[in-house]
């Protein structure tokens, strides 16, 4: 399994992804801050909008990785060549999906820490801008991030079903509208949505793995 993960890391071009992560963290404040200044009042709930940006970004990012590392390899028949190697098909698929899941989740957490810390500091410098976080809110955002990453696995199911590398990305943009909806809910209702998202995401993972392991998927 370690050997497979190393191979997939080379395909992922991890250094390039880290560079993209740095760029994303530089661009996000530029986009979010003007919007926060326009809509923010004294409630200090700007973290909701920032979380929406972060989760939307990584849902789309995850769909791109799924498209390039999994769906594209089926489309170009690269995956079929790998099946001829003395490696279990299940190990190969788990290595790919696990790498994508862990990478996006890690990047999402790093971005959340950076962005929320940055905006909290800005709130101290700007008199007309408040940005408050408490432990419950932070835990809620962590749970929402995990659920969003799980939900984004739906893009794999759609991509394999439609046999298209574009379908996962289009699906991801649709899912970002859901992110905006559940981020505006109360914490109690948000928890319900998070559980539902997590269940849907896990179901999509199971369906995708089952289809990949039991069917000869020919594009």
Contact 25, 83 (CB under 8 A): no
Give the mean pLDDT of 116-124. 85
Q: Which SS3 state, helix, strand or coil, does residue 133 take?
A: coil
pTM of the entire predicted model: 0.84
Give kind and range of the element (H or E) at residue 67. Answer: none
How far apart are alpha carbons 130 and 104 in whole angstroms? Answer: 29
Burial string for 43-79 (b: 16+ CB within 10 Å, else e) reads: eebbbebbbbbbbbbbbbbbbebbbbbbbbbbbeeeb
Q: Which two tokens stand for residue 130?
A: 């408040």
Q: Which two tokens stand for residue 86?
A: 């003395």
Q: What is the pLDDT of residues 165-200, one digit of tens each?
A: 899 999 999 888 877 665 554 444 466 776 777 788
Contact 58, 107 (CB under 8 A): yes
What are the φ and ψ backbone dihedral angles of 43, each rounded to 5 degrees? -70, -25
How far apart are alpha carbons 165 and 184 in whole angstroms? Answer: 31
Q: What is the pLDDT of residues 154-166, one digit of tens each?
A: 898 888 888 888 9
Give the mean pLDDT of 2-24. 82
């Amino acid at each position: 399994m370690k050997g497979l993960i190393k191979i997939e890391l080379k395909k992922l071009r991890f250094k390039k992804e880290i560079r993209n992560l740095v760029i994303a963290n530089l661009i996000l404040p530029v986009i979010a801050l003007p919007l926060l200044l326009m809509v923010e009042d004294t409630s200090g709930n700007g973290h909701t909008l920032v979380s929406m940006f972060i989760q939307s970004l990584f849902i789309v990012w995850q769909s791109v990785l799924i498209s390039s590392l999994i769906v594209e390899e089926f489309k170009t028949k690269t995956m079929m060549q790998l099946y001829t190697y003395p490696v279990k098909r299940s190990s190969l698929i788990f290595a790919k999906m696990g790498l994508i899941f862990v990478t996006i989740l890690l990047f999402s957490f790093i971005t959340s820490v950076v962005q929320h810390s940055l905006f909290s500091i800005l709130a101290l410098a700007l008199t007309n801008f408040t940005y408050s976080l408490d432990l419950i809110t932070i835990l809620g955002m962590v749970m929402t991030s995990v659920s969003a990453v799980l939900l984004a696995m739906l893009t794999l199911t759609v991509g394999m079903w439609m046999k298209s590398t574009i379908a996962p990305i289009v699906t991801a943009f649709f899912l970002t509208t859901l992110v905006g909806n559940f981020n505006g809910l109360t914490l109690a209702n948000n928890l319900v949505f998070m559980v539902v998202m997590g269940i849907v995401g896990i179901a999509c993972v199971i369906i995708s793995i089952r289809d990949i392991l039991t069917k000869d998927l020919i594009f």
